Structure 1
Amino acid sequence: MPGADPGRRGAFRLIRRRALAGLALAGPALAACSPLDLANLATPRRGTMLREGLRYGPLPRHRLDLTLPPMPVAETPLVVFIHGGGWEEGSRAQYAFLGRRLASLGMAVAVPDYRLWPEARWPDFIEDAALAVAWLRSAPDVPRGPLFVMGHSAGGFIAAALALDPRWLEAAGLPGGRGALTGAMLLAAPISWQPNYEPVTSIFANAPGGRIEAAPDPAMLAGAPPMLLLHGEADVVVGALHARQLAAGLEAAGRPVRLRLYPGVGHVGIMTDFVPGAGLLGLSDAPVVAEVRDFVRARVVGG
């Protein structure tokens, strides 16, 4: 932090090192859950309103949480955030902090649950997310403003599939299909990948060639909405090559795309900026929230 007291900078670095070391020693379960719990505790409501457990379909996992900004109006932009977790874990409640943070900036944020492995496999989770988006557009008391899909990691793949492959939203009955989307925001999203480890190979066994493919036909890119691609260059779970290649394909297809790559930022680290104060503590090196805010505002104001 330029201009900060050297002793304070040292203290922040020490806090960061200890936090990261603690997560590394705690193992996968704590690393996957505890930071999200802490993020929810650290993120104030700031006048936002939560409508919890709204049912968008007939199955047990067909529920979503909707966080509304203070004084929402019909034109309030709606962001549908699809959580990650390798298509086998995760829940809407874990991402309350993200809903609150974006709602405090004037957006309505829906976070749906969707079916997970082993109950589900491709394309069940894509169909669930598409159903949630379509339901939100027809449900009462939900803002009708510009519509965005957004996701991290496995959820980023699902959001990419909704934005790039027209069949999913059309099949879900969304008027206009993917043409109803004002934009898509992908964080550390796998786009095109041949999985070679379990359970991902089994999760995608039904997909053509067993591949993870958000856009099976490159011609699909020509109809894509504007896209924001955010990726950490230190991501060893989903390499930044996914974002680079998608950006190049969208540019070649003449579609608007903004690519932001963050040096030193990993797969989970790209989410930390949604926690208030993370930047001040040296826990976030990527201005993700500002990028999302500016992307939404540009689409809302400028079209």
Structure 2
Amino acid sequence: MPGWLEIVMRALSAMIMLIVITRILGKKQISQLTFLEFVIGITLGELVGFISTDVESNFWYGVISLLVWFIVPLGLEYLALKSKKIRGWLEGSGRVMIKEGKVLEDNLKKERVSADELLEQLRSKSVFNLADVEFAVMETNGDLSILLKRDKQPLTPRDMNMKLVNEVEPQTVIMDGEYLDEPLATIGLSRGWLNTELEKIGVTVDNVFLGQVDAYQQLYVDLYDDKLKVPAPQGKALVYATLKKSQADLELFAMSTRDPAAKQLFEQTSRELTGVIQSLQPMLQN
């Protein structure tokens, strides 16, 4: 076998093995790594490079070494899931860096973090004033988790006694100019409905890069041609306006009629519809 062909075969085999191994080991290999995951990632990369290019070495010896570095970490991960002690030994534990607004200098030294690095981590979390921090922990992956003081935390709807509804995941129904039938079926819609909505905004499916439908059956599209402008969905606004108009009509009917029974019925229905509008307002005006 020619030397170049052997290298190609070795590289392809090693690449396939590395992809399979990293998929099995999990997504943490490509996110914030712990110390052990960092060491494993470097070693696997070195072994794959060695297997791919060192034609004078035995290919299967490299494969065996790669399998050892795959099986042992995989076994350790399963053990870590079962035992907190093993998890702490392998991955370490978080360390408190700021407590009750005070920097713990001894813990900074233990983690070998300087004051400049601590401030840099705070700025990366959009915290520029140390006095705003109530609690901060250095996680095992080196990231800093921060709890702001109560008066420095962002205002939430709960603080303002606002009623909100749970959001439902939007479904992507068009991707790369093609229909996605499964998400459409999930929300009980069809291509016919989708084509009708596209006609309303004057675009064709071929020009849609991404299209999503929310829980209120409103279609949002992103077009290949960014110069084209499409109207914003008005489904919720239309429903809200229709309800308000109906409530106003009931009040008008109550004032116009001379029949006491009809007047009472109109007024009662108007009050009930007002309650419905108030309960739906967080959804329809969100």
TM-score, normalised to structure 1, is 0.19
Structure with a larger share of its residues in strand = 1
Greater Rg over alpha carbons, structure: 2
Relative to the length of structure 2, the TM-score reads: 0.20
